[in-house]
């Protein structure tokens, strides 16, 4: 597993976002087989980034636009959603998928009030079905 500093990762993500938005002035991110454990990718646009073999355990992915392989992302109503095989981030809340499955209505309400609970009641089955479909064949 390759190592990277937080500053190096920040620079790679910045250049990648330029690549996504501007083409020639940036560089496509190649983070294959990197140890990204506990790094912060919140708000990053990783569309098209190479992440095969990267260890994403504990990586913050809130409001991240995923590369649509290792990190997937969708938008449902008011919340940006990003997820991996193990982690689900909805808005500013990120937890393991198992934790999300076990949260009570009170837990969800404490996160962002009655609107969050209404959202969760409406979309939770769809969100879990989407995660299952995305990673079913892997």
Three-state SS string over 46-71 comes to: CCCCECCCCECCCCECCCCECCCCCC
Retrieve residue 134's tokens. Answer: 């995305």
Q: Is residue 82 left, alpha or beta, with left meaning phi > 0 and alpha meaning psi from -120 to 50?
A: beta
How does residue 22 score in pLDDT terms, banded at 50, 70 and 90?
A: confident
Map out the domains of the chain as residue ranges: 6-135
- Residue 110: half-sphere exposure toward Cβ, Cα within 13 Å: 5
pLDDT digits (tens, 9 = 90+) for 76-119: 999 999 999 999 999 999 999 999 999 999 999 999 999 999 99
Q: CA-to-CA distance for 138 and 94, rounded, in angstroms? A: 23
How does residue 138 score in pLDDT terms, banded at 50, 70 and 90?
A: low
């Amino acid at each position: 597993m390759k190592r990277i500093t937080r500053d190096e990762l920040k620079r790679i993500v910045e250049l990648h976002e330029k690549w996504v938005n501007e083409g020639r002035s940036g560089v496509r991110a190649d983070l294959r087989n990197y140890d990204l454990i506990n790094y912060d990718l919140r708000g990053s646009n990783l569309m098209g980034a190479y992440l095969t073999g990267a260890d994403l355990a504990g990586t913050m992915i809130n409001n991240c636009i995923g590369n649509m392989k290792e990190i997937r992302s969708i938008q449902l109503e008011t919340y940006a959603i990003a997820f991996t095989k193990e982690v689900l981030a909805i808005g500013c809340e990120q937890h393991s998928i198992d934790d999300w499955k076990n949260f009570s209505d009170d837990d969800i309400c404490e996160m962002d009030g009655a609107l969050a609970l209404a959202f969760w009641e409406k979309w939770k089955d769809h969100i879990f079905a989407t995660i299952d479909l995305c990673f079913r064949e892997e």
